[in-house]
Amino acid sequence: DTEVTQTPKHLVMGMTNKKSLKCEQHMGHRAMYWYKQKAKKPPELMFVYSYEKLSINESVPSRFSPECPNSSLLNLHLHALQPEDSALYLCASSPSTGITEAFFGQGTRLTVV
């Protein structure tokens, strides 16, 4: 199984809402990533978890809050987002942060209204 599953596929939320994005992998990977991708731009790294500990936070605003409950799951909690946060949010995993042959999920298309 080389699949990274993200839910939901689409999400529309208001600026005062709280929502969460979920990501799951069963490949035994110990590194998991959140990326943000705007149209016609490359994926932009947000967070890296290594062995369930946050190892990299690329200066992401606090309205994005990651969580890694266990080695298979990764969440991204969203609160008080802005319209400019609308994007495709991608989760990825790799065997470790030393090996980033990453497998990506299909993404969550987020629209903030």
Partner 1 sequence: EDQVTQSPEALRLQEGESSSLNCSYTVSGLRGLFWYRQDPGKGPEFLFTLYSAGEEKEKERLKATLTKKESFLHITAPKPEDSATYLCAVQARAGGSYIPTFGRGTSLIVHP
Contacts with partner 1 by CB under 8 A lie at: 4, 6, 41-43, 45, 48, 50, 55-56, 88, 90, 92, 97-107, 109
The minimum distance between CB 16 and partner 1, in angstroms, equals: 27
Q: Which CB atom, from 44 or from 67, has the smaller least distance to partner 1?
A: 44
Phi and psi based region of residue 80 (left: phi greater than 0; alpha: psi -120 to 50; beta: remaining): left
Shortest Cβ 98–partner 1 spacing (Å): 6
Of the two residues 18 and 66, which places its CB atom closer to partner 1 in the complex?
A: 66
Name which of 4 and 78 has its Cβ closer to partner 1.
Answer: 4
What tokens were used for 17?
């809402």
Residue 94 burial class via C-beta count within 10 angstroms: exposed 0-12, middle 13-18, buried 19 and up: buried
Question: Which one, 35 or 64, has the nearer CB to partner 1?
Answer: 35
In angstroms, the CA 56 to CA 46 distance is 8
Shortest distance, position 80 Cβ to partner 1, whole Å: 26
Question: Measured between alpha carbons, how far is 55 from 58 in angstroms, rounded to an integer?
Answer: 10
Show the tokens assigned to 31. 């590194």
